[in-house]
Structure 1
């Protein structure tokens, strides 16, 4: 019974068309880094908005699961659907835009892993985020990428459960995969405090 109900929700949270609209905006904006190699202006904001759009869709799925409107299984499938859309290979646009999209997709890997760990309960609620960051960095330096992403997923699950990923912790993380994945967790934290409209049950996507 929840299968048919779940299938309706399953399709509605995020679509490939929505993602492609963002990609088209990137193509149209002729994005380039400035001299400081930092994304600037409204062209740079497109990538932030792309990521926020994905993360808010994931938070909406989690909220519906917590409200009992969809099962954890349907929620996991819906997150997986969005992950497949957002992490699919994109045809080259330009060197700068391609670098930004690659960075955004890497960041989103952390976000998706966090949502899945949270929904499956695959994390220790009493763990300390700062300790887990050290474990993730050690795993990355040992090229144990599976443990690194798994640990980042736990950090994200803790953030989704209400714990704080502090600026101090983020500042101490050297640039690398863990840093990019944690950027995706940081984006989840920002979205959670930015607006809780994702918790509301307004069906803006009517079937």
Structure 2
């Protein structure tokens, strides 16, 4: 039986933080509309995603500065994943669809972060080739391989590479949604690097 991870007490991301976002989502009363205000109402989902992505980037920054071991970084990411991907009580049909889409995209984000820390990617691999392989794997219903390719794409982005503009031409499906999560990582990395100086406290308990 594998040895269980030590519980790490940290403030990178918490259930209370996630629940606060869910409260804001409820208050938004989001509905799919043709009017311009739909984009404004939908901003809460973008901000909610960014908050989680930044938490993951802080973990990676701590790992890269040797403040966290790979094992501890993985354990914290697993904890954040458990919070963000937990089943959410139904709110409304439109909001439920948005949360489901958000959580699906985050699966790609988490897979990327874990692949980066595990160094499970080839730094010389071409992102275009990996995207094609991921789409082909999904078409062949080989979902495990598909998420594996997406994880490698995300790890390359975390390593400093850029996503191609051809992303917009992808067929709608799981790979496209997972890659939205990678796109969120790239946007967060370009947006600001203050997460690298974060002093999130943590202790092994």
Q: Same fold (TM over 0.5)?
A: yes
Q: Secondary structure at the match of 2:8?
A: helix
Contact between 1:61 and 1:78, CA under 8 Å: does it hold in 2? Answer: yes
Q: CA deviation at 1:166?
A: 2.0
Tell me the distance in 2 between the aligned counterparts of 1:84 and 1:199.
Answer: 23
Q: Which residues of 2 match residues 1-207 of structure 1 at below 5 A?
A: 7-8=8-9, 11-35=10-34, 40-167=38-165, 169-203=166-200
What runs of 5+ residues in structure 2 fail to find an aligned partner?
none
Tell me the distance in 2 between the aligned counterparts of 1:34 and 1:201.
Answer: 38
TM-score by length of 2: 0.92
RMSD (Å), alpha carbons? 1.9
Tell me the distance in 2 between the aligned counterparts of 1:64 and 1:147.
Answer: 29
Contact between 2:134 and 2:150, CA under 8 Å: does it hold in 1? Answer: yes
Tell me the distance in 2 between the aligned counterparts of 1:137 and 1:194.
Answer: 28
Tell me the distance in 1 between the aligned counterparts of 2:45 and 2:138.
Answer: 26
Contact between 2:63 and 2:70, CA under 8 Å: does it hold in 1? Answer: yes
Runs of 4+ in 1 over 3 A off after TM superposition: none
Q: Secondary structure at the match of 1:83?
A: helix
Tell me the distance in 1 between the aligned counterparts of 2:115 and 2:12.
Answer: 19
TM-score by length of 1: 0.91
Tell me the distance in 2 between the aligned counterparts of 1:161 and 1:151.
Answer: 15
Tell me the distance in 2 between the aligned counterparts of 1:188 and 1:63.
Answer: 13
Looking at both structures, which has the greater relative contact order when contacts are Cα pairs under 8 Å and sequence separation is at least 6? Answer: 2
- CA distance 1:39–1:77, change in 2 (3 Å): farther
Contact between 1:13 and 1:57, CA under 8 Å: does it hold in 2? Answer: yes
